[in-house]
Amino acid sequence: MRLRINAMHRALIRLRAFGASARQVRLAAIACVMVAHASSASAQTTVLVRVDQSTIWKHDFRTPAAVVRAGSILTVVGQRKDWYEVVVPGFDGLKGETGFIFKPFVSDATEPVSLPARGGPPSAVARARPARPRQLGFAGFGQFGYTRFAAQNSFQAITGTGGGAVVGGGAEVRIGSLFLGGSIDRYTQTGQRVLVIDREVFGLGVPDTISLVPITALAGWRFDHGNATPYVGGGIGTVLFKEESLAADPGENLQTRFTSYHAIAGVEFRNGWVATAFEVEYSRIPDSIGVGGASAAFQESNLGGVVGRIKILVGRKKAHGNSHQSPVFSRQSAVFGRQSQSSVRLVTDDCDW
């Protein structure tokens, strides 16, 4: 650009030397300025990719929009600090969309570029690698479902059914794909005390209420797939067990607790702040019953079972530290021959999860 201006200045001096009028010189100067301005504008609207396999990022700076070869010409429509906003080439139906490319990876479209040998990027510049941001999320949830007990014969004898409804709630902390959570549920069913002889049940007509309160700590892994996210996990907990009857002596009522073990699997569907999850849980509470009563007659000792439930979650998610690192580019200094690392820190607002 500077060379063009110097050449135009020398041409104006020659016009004056050959006797051109002042008006002619002024008109020539205006024309030169317009030509220079048009050249500058043209140079600013296209750039040449100098780094092979350069990544054009979508507007969230997390997802690649395209990967371009050295020598590609890109149209610039804007810029943001160390990034050019360019029109994404027509790969995979993305033509017409825009994305962002790191400024050091491009140059003026009029400058020459050395294409790399086949088989990989040039030795002076390593391929761009995206750094996955660590997301931190918090969620509270309510849940309801139906449990089918492993000791279903015992429950069938006392309550008339081998399972029942459970309701509860809890909270989760999510760090990337990892989640840590806790929940508390409640099951209550009233039946009657029974006598079992040779697996034949005889009702005694004495009301009997069984209550279970599972308190569980869980950890697991989420497999993000857009709005539908499968997950698996496991954990340990304690179950508060109570069996009581108003017609019985106080010494005949039972209240104790047992250690429980849990495995879960489910899928979550997100819609902004709110998500709905469909979950199956298997629990095992070994050696918790079977000492006496109906459970001993049916030789059942596991108070666990299988629960199918629906969870309604409400929460927010944001990048760890209220920010995340943009894609990190590892490149070699052309001056010092040392490896250096460039990164751009982007501050983001809270986002829906």
pLDDT computed for residue 268 by the predictor: 95
Whole-Å CA distances, 209 to 103, 158, 168, 254 = 71, 9, 19, 11
| pLDDT (0 to 100) of residue 347 | 33
pLDDT, tens digit (0-9, with 9 covering 90-100), for 300-346: 999 999 999 999 999 876 544 433 333 433 333 332 233 333 333 33
Place of tokens 């690649």: 64
pLDDT at residue 27 in the model: 57
Across-strand partners of 187? Answer: 212
Between 4-18, 163-177, 232-246, the lowest mean confidence (pLDDT) is in 4-18
Q: Which pLDDT value is given to residue 120? A: 41
pLDDT of residue 199: 87
Q: What is the DSSP letter of 89?
A: P
The mean pLDDT value for 295-304 works out to 92
Which of the four pLDDT bands, split at 50, 70 and 90, describes residue 348?
very low
pLDDT confidence of residue 71: 86
Mean pLDDT of 40-66: 79
**pLDDT: is 192 or 22 the higher one?**
192
Mean pLDDT for the chain overall: 77
Tell me which residue of 55, 133, 44 sits closest to 100, measured CA to CA.
55
| pLDDT tens figures, 195-229 | 999 889 999 888 999 999 999 999 999 998 777 99
Q: How high is the pLDDT of residue 41?
A: 41
* The pLDDT of residue 276: 95
How are beta strands 64-68 and 54-57 bridged, if at all? antiparallel
* pLDDT band, very low/low/confident/very high, at 7 (cuts 50, 70, 90): low
Least confident of 111-120, 191-200, 280-289: 111-120
Residue-level pLDDT at 10: 56
Confidence of residue 59 (pLDDT cuts 50, 70, 90): confident
Residue 66 has pLDDT above 50, yes or no: yes
Among 211, 177, 206, which residue's Cα sits nearest to residue 191?
206
Of 200, 211, 208, whose CA–CA distance to 164 is shortest?
A: 211
- Per-residue pLDDT of 115-142, as tens digits, reads 444 444 443 333 444 445 567 889 999 9
% of the chain with per-residue pLDDT over 70: 68
Asked whether residue 277 carries a pLDDT value surpassing 80, the answer given is yes
pTM above 0.85, yes or no: no
What local confidence, expressed as pLDDT, does residue 224 receive? 83
Phi, psi of 76 (to 5 degrees): -90, 130
pLDDT beyond 80 at 101: yes
